[in-house]
């Protein structure tokens, strides 16, 4: 399994200039290679063969483009091979129903990274204080660079670092992503999984998650960040475009965006870590997020919670920790009674499920999570116990967990309810 943990770099001012110079040269090479690639007929070979035709011209290109001699060779090769990767990604989008065009040239704002492959770099973890290391790079503007790295967490066990990608964020901060391969833990066989070691998740807007064990996780409150973003954006609109003041204000806007993104990513990773660590199987709805975003109601709320992003993160943690993550059919999970299976139609503003057939009553999202659990057990092939999921769950006992407790740095896992949690009847 491939991992790409990311760490913050702290280059000096001179090192920043050299990194930015290298990034710009790689961008120009990408644009030139794309121009040469477009001149090759499609019947001249496969996509890979046509890209390699362009890549093989690099030695001759260095004879008149002398700046290329100051960049490590694998960095240049990777930039050309990026054309193939981008075309393959466009093909995947087209297969999913998106209307895609062709590749375009990259402006300086659109091309923010370059990659060392197999050689030209070394991570020295023995230099510097704790949680610090030195990333040694060869041929950055023709000279080696030793850049401090903050190792806020250890790299997973691995044999070697395959690639290092250096990227400059819109805020101006530089990061390094180390591509490594580690053994993927084996997942337990479905027949060996106990139903009590599984959980169903219902994803919502009012509550980010309601699981089949009675926990409800509040969604993130980003109202303060959104207000600040509006203020900074208004200030940016008053500046002269691309002036020095405009650039400074653009970085302020980018920092607000980065803060919001980091909070949402941290929130989702901690939740995914908890569920894939505590359970052998996690069941979640296979939501059609694209169709939901196209509906006229609550579009911003649906886009902001990021359900599909959370499902992707959940699958990543599932592979990383040997946990089954199964997507189930979401249709009818809210209407269907978790006890008797009779469907009861109810508008969105009705937050309680009340079955007219069997009299079963509980929170609307709790009922949906029990249905997700039942469908997940059936799809995965886990043997049912004598009790149904409804009978094993504490139907009317819910633990509400504030999102601020989840995003708090170093926060404990949700195995025990935090003191701020409130019990609802």
Burial of 186 (0-12, 13-18, 19+ CB in 10 A): exposed
Q: Are residues 174 and 98 in the same domain?
A: yes
Q: Which residues pair with 115 in a beta bridge?
A: 165
Give the mean pLDDT of 365-379: 85
Q: Are residues 321 and 214 in the same domain?
A: yes
Lowest mean pLDDT, pick from 119-133, 134-148, 227-241, 383-397: 383-397
String of b and e for 187-200 (b: at least 16 CB within 10 Å)? beebeebebeebbb
Q: Are residues 325 and 297 in the same domain?
A: yes
Of 94 and 415, the one with more pLDDT: 94
Q: Are residues 270 and 207 in the same domain?
A: yes
Q: What is the pLDDT of residues 176-215, one digit of tens each?
A: 999 988 888 888 888 888 888 899 888 887 788 888 888 8
Q: Are residues 113 and 225 in the same domain?
A: no
Residue 154 has pLDDT above 80, yes or no: yes
Q: What is the pLDDT of residues 58-72, one digit of tens each?
A: 999 999 999 999 999
Q: What is the pLDDT of residues 84-102, one digit of tens each?
A: 999 999 999 888 888 888 8
Provide the pLDDT for residue 297: 65
Provide the pLDDT for residue 418: 38
Residue 77 has pLDDT above 80, yes or no: yes
CA distance linking residue 148 with residue 155, whole number of Å: 16
Task: Find, among 132, 116, 134, the residue nearest to 124 by Cα.
Answer: 134
Give the mean pLDDT of 78-86: 95
Of 396 and 383, the one with more pLDDT: 383
Of 355 and 199, the one with more pLDDT: 199
Q: Are residues 168 and 204 in the same domain?
A: no
Domain boundary residue among 183, 211, 226?
183
Q: Are residues 374 and 407 in the same domain?
A: yes
The total number of structural domains in the chain stands at 2
Structural domain containing residue 251? 190-424
Mean pLDDT, the chain, integer: 84
Q: Are residues 55 and 157 in the same domain?
A: yes
Q: Are residues 194 and 174 in the same domain?
A: no
Total-model pTM = 0.80
Provide the pLDDT for residue 242: 87
Q: Are residues 351 and 279 in the same domain?
A: yes
Provide the pLDDT for residue 383: 65
CA distance linking residue 106 with residue 126, whole number of Å: 38
Of 300 and 213, the one with more pLDDT: 213
Residue 398 has pLDDT above 70, yes or no: no
Domain boundary residue among 183, 207, 225?
183
Q: Are residues 175 and 199 in the same domain?
A: no
Q: Are residues 217 and 328 in the same domain?
A: yes
Please list, in sequence order, all residues whose beta carbon lies within 8 angstroms of the beta carbon of residue 138, skipping any fewer than 6 positions away. Answer: 72, 120, 121, 144
Provide the pLDDT for residue 295: 66
Residue 140 has pLDDT above 70, yes or no: yes
Residue 389 has pLDDT above 80, yes or no: no
Domain boundary residue among 150, 183, 216?
183
With bands split at pLDDT 50, 70 and 90, how would you rate the model's confidence at 223?
confident
Residue 234 has pLDDT above 80, yes or no: yes
């Amino acid at each position: 399994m491939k991992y790409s943990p990311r760490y913050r770099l702290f280059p000096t001012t001179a090192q920043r200039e050299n990194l930015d110079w290298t990034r710009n040269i790689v961008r120009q090479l990408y644009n030139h290679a794309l121009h040469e690639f477009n001149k090759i007929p499609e019947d001249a070979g496969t996509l890979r063969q046509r890209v390699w035709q362009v890549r093989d011209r690099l030695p001759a290109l260095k004879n008149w483009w002398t700046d290329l001699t100051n960049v490590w060779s694998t960095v240049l090769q990777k930039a050309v091979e990026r054309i193939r990767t981008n075309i393959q990604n466009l093909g995947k989008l087209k297969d999913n129903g998106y209307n895609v065009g062709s590749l375009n040239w990259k402006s300086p704002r659109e091309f923010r990274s370059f990659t060392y492959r197999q050689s030209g770099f070394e991570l020295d973890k023995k230099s510097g204080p704790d949680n610090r290391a030195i990333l040694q790079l060869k041929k950055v503007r023709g000279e080696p660079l030793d850049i401090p790295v903050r190792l806020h967490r250890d790299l997973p066990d691995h044999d070697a670092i395959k690639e290092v990608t250096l990227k400059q964020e819109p805020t101006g901060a530089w990061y390094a992503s180390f591509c490594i391969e580690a053994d993927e833990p084996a997942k337990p066989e479905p027949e060996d999984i106990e139903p009590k070691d599984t959980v169903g998740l219902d994803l919502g807007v009012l509550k980010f998650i309601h699981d089949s064990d009675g926990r409800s996780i509040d969604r993130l409150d980003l109202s303060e960040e959104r207000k600040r973003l509006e203020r900074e954006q208004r200030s940016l609109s008053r500046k002269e475009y691309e002036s020095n003041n405009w650039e400074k204000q653009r970085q302020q806007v980018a920092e607000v965006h980065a803060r919001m993104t980091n909070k949402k990513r941290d929130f989702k990773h901690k939740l995914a870590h908890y569920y894939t660590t505590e359970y052998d199987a996690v069941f979640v709805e296979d939501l059609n997020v694209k169709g939901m975003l196209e509906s006229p109601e609550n579009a911003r709320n649906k886009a902001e919670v990021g359900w599909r992003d959370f499902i992707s993160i959940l699958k990543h943690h599932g592979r990383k920790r040997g946990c089954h993550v199964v997507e189930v059919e979401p249709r009818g999970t809210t209407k269907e009674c978790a006890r008797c299976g009779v469907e009861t139609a109810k508008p969105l503003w009705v937050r309680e499920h009340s079955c007219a057939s069997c009299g079963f009553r509980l929170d609307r999202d709790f009922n949906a999570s029990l249905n997700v659990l039942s469908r997940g057990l059936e799809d995965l092939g886990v043997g049912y116990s004598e009790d149904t999921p409804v009978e094993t769950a504490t139907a009317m006992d819910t633990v509400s967990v504030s999102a601020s407790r989840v995003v708090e740095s170093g926060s404990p896992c949700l195995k025990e309810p935090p003191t701020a949690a409130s019990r609802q009847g």
